[in-house]
């Protein structure tokens, strides 16, 4: 199967890519002090971004499935110690897995969650909660593990889920009651994360809010990280 088209910039600069296409999580990653940890978290977010693009850019469900299969095959290469395809996000994820021992099942679940987006039928509340948990939620949990292996990483699930739900509010305002429940849970759960792991959920502080300028967004994130609260 051929490599899917990508928004990745020349030279494989995933940090620059995330800054452009995923500014909330890119900003939260600025609070990660260690360069190697930041690179591995960026790799996770780039992987999640590529999965999110699969249903969005495909002209039909079959092509979307092919894109997701391509990423499943990339995971097989990574975990079976085979040469990994020459895609910047796949290569970076392989390095993160090698350094951090990331859970394969969690990454596969992130792929599985995107299949639901290929179905045009509206999601039920239960489905959208599952989708949010298995996309942004798992990305946040894995990021927390990278930042502090000793932290209770599952406490990041709600924060990542709230961020994913917040991204859908503009097109699905009926989700706001569900979002409010999840963000409330996220505020409670995030207090159990270590200081080192908190940047994995800091971007949830921006979820569901009206558009703000860059300074206001940076300030809100800085306050969230300083207080250790979303």
Q: Per residue of the chain (230 residues), give pLDDT as tens.
A: 555 655 544 445 999 999 999 999 999 999 999 999 999 999 999 999 999 999 888 878 999 999 999 999 999 999 999 999 999 999 999 999 999 999 999 999 999 999 999 999 999 999 999 999 999 999 999 999 999 999 999 999 999 999 999 999 988 999 999 999 999 999 999 999 999 999 999 999 999 988 889 999 999 999 999 999 99
Q: What is the predicted pLDDT for the residue at 11?
A: 42
CA–CA dist 9, 159 (Å, integer): 29
Task: Please tell me the distance from the alpha carbon of residue 190 to that of residue 200, in angstroms, as a whole number.
Answer: 10
The CA distance from 170 to 181, in Å, is: 17
Q: Can you give the pTM of this predicted structure?
A: 0.93
Give dist(CA 189, CA 212) in Å, integer. Answer: 26
Please give the structure tokens belonging to residue 113. 């969650």
Q: How far apart are the first and last CA of the chain?
A: 41
φ, ψ (nearest 5 deg) of residue 121: -65, 140
Q: In this predicted structure, what is the pLDDT of residue 57?
A: 85
Residue with tokens 């900003």: 27
What does the pLDDT read at residue 2? 52
Domains of the chain: 14-227 (1.10.600.10)
DSSP states along the chain: -PPPP--PPTT--HHHHHHHH-HHHHHHHTT--SHHHHHHHHHHHHHHHHHHHHHHH-SSHHHHHHHHHHHHHHHHHHHTTPPPPS-HHHHHHHHHHHHH---HHHHHHHHHHHHGGGS-SPPPHHHHHHHHIIIIIHHHHHHHHHH-TTS-GGGGHHHHHHHHHHHHTTT-GGGHHHHHHHHHHHHHHHTTS-TTTGGGTGGGGGTTPPP--HHHHHHHHHHHHHHT--
Token pair, residue 220, equals 């809100």
**What's the confidence (pLDDT) of residue 10?**
43
- pLDDT at residue 21, rounded to an integer: 96
């Amino acid at each position: 199967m051929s490599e899917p088209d990508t928004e990745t910039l020349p030279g494989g600069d995933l940090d620059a890519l995330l800054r452009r296409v995923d500014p909330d999580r890119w900003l939260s990653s600025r609070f990660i002090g260690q360069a190697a940890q930041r690179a591995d978290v960026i790799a996770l977010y780039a992987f999640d971004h590529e999965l999110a693009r699969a249903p969005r850019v495909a002209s039909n469900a079959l092509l979307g499935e092919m894109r997701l299969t391509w990423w499943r095959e990339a995971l097989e290469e990574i975990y079976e110690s085979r040469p990994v395809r020459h895609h910047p996000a796949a290569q970076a994820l392989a390095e993160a897995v090698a350094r951090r021992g990331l859970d394969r099942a969690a990454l596969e679940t992130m792929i599985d969650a995107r299949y639901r987006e290929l179905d045009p039928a509206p999601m039920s509340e239960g489905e959208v909660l599952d989708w949010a948990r298995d996309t942004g939620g798992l990305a946040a949990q894995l990021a927390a593990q990278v930042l502090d292996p000793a932290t209770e990483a599952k406490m990041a699930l709600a924060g990542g889920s709230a961020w994913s739900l917040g991204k859908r509010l503009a097109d699905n305002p009926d989700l706001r009651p569900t979002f409010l429940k999840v963000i409330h849970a996220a505020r409670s759960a995030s207090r159990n994360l270590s200081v080192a792991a908190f940047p994995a959920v800091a971007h949830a502080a921006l979820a569901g809010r009206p558009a703000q300028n860059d300074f206001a967004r940076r300030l809100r994130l800085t306050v969230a990280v300083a207080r250790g609260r979303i």
